[in-house]
Structure 1
């Protein structure tokens, strides 16, 4: 197995572990804290952005593996025809080689396909669990459960993984831009005052001499 297919397999195993982590029954408070952390963490936002690029490459590998399976199937059909025509020795060795390449091509196709499919399942599972948690929180709030009051950790603001963290980073970047803009305005104001003093200085001296 080549390096990139080994990385795809590692990603598949990671997705399986994450999926098991999502379906493990946990107390409502623990799960609410977990989903809030996943939504607000800027690290998760960066990982999610990187995973989108990774899945694009995996999709390309999947399309390539499907193409290879099709080509190997055509070669296997051609070798089968040569066997029927009497080329027993050469056809048998060629058939084994083609079948081996077919096996590897199918393995790569299934590996990439299951990785992409499980990514969709993870996304859908996350959304469904989040909806369930929001409904549970609403029910507890309507029942007057004190555990849902005054903690400021409502799930109404929780969205996709890293979404809140990404928005916080954008807000911090805008604040930095605003501070830089204020400094530039202050520097321009100081420079304007300095130039005004330089221009008004000779004029006022000439008027006093007259």
Structure 2
């Protein structure tokens, strides 16, 4: 295995360890501190940045491995046509072994890069779901009057991390609707003031003819 595929394998093992640490049963306080550290630590943020760049290279390796698998399949199909349908077994012993070895290594690299990319998506989604669950549990405890949950803690990194999901989108929509509501209130007040001003101007004109009569 070459150096870069060895690094991909190390990244896959690292993802497996992180995934197991996320799904393993833990006490609420320990898991909350762990996720708060992950969401607020600048060191973890830098590590996530470099890991994202690494995944770009893994994607390039995955595309290259798929291309190699395709070329080996085309080579085997061409050898099968040359030998009048006898198949790859009609190749020489050493040549056939060399082609089969290339096919095996190409498929291994394809599966290695593919599972690494797939597990990265699972990790991202699992982390977001766990953060949302913990934040909802905290809200539930606060509504029940649990004194161990303080409002200051709930405004920490868990809320910021939970905004990555559906709740964050709903919060943004609610803030936009509140801004629209405030603008409508200002327009209503302006129209009401203008209506009262026009009413004051029209009232003296209406009362003058009545005095003449």
Aligned residue for 1:175? Answer: none
**Relative contact order, higher structure (CA 8 A, sep 6+):** 1
Q: Indicate conservation of the 8 Å contact 2:89/2:96, yes or no.
A: no
Gap regions ≥5 residues in structure 2: 165-213
Residue 26 of structure 2: SS of its match in structure 1? coil
Query: What is the TM-score when the length of structure 2 is the normalising length?
Result: 0.70
Aligned residue for 1:133? Answer: 134
How big is the alpha-carbon RMSD for the aligned residues of Structure 1 and Structure 2?
Answer: 2.3
Query: What is the TM-score when the length of structure 1 is the normalising length?
Result: 0.71
Q: Indicate conservation of the 8 Å contact 1:80/1:95, yes or no.
A: no
Give, in angstroms, the shift of residue 90 of structure 1.
4.7
Aligned residue for 1:43? Answer: 43
Aligned residues: 161
Q: Indicate conservation of the 8 Å contact 1:58/1:116, yes or no.
A: yes
Aligned residue for 2:107? Answer: 106
Aligned residue for 1:167? Answer: none
Give, in angstroms, the shift of residue 77 of structure 1.
1.1
Residue 147 of structure 1: SS of its match in structure 2? coil
How far apart, in 2, do the equivalents of 1:110 and 1:54 lie? 17
How far apart, in 2, do the equivalents of 1:74 and 1:59 lie? 23
How far apart, in 2, do the equivalents of 1:21 and 1:155 lie? 24
Deviating more after overlay: 70-79 vs 124-133: 70-79
Q: Indicate conservation of the 8 Å contact 1:69/1:102, yes or no.
A: yes
Q: Indicate conservation of the 8 Å contact 1:15/1:119, yes or no.
A: yes
Aligned residue for 2:143? Answer: 142
Give, in angstroms, the shift of residue 95 of structure 1.
2.3
2:51 is aligned with 1:74: no
Q: How does 1:113-132 map to 2 (within 5 A)?
A: 113-132=114-133
Give, in angstroms, the shift of residue 7 of structure 1.
0.4
How far apart, in 1, do the equivalents of 2:35 and 2:27 lie? 12
2:26 is aligned with 1:5: no
2:18 is aligned with 1:18: yes
Gap regions ≥5 residues in structure 1: 164-210
Give, in angstroms, the shift of residue 91 of structure 1.
3.8
Residue 145 of structure 2: SS of its match in structure 1? coil
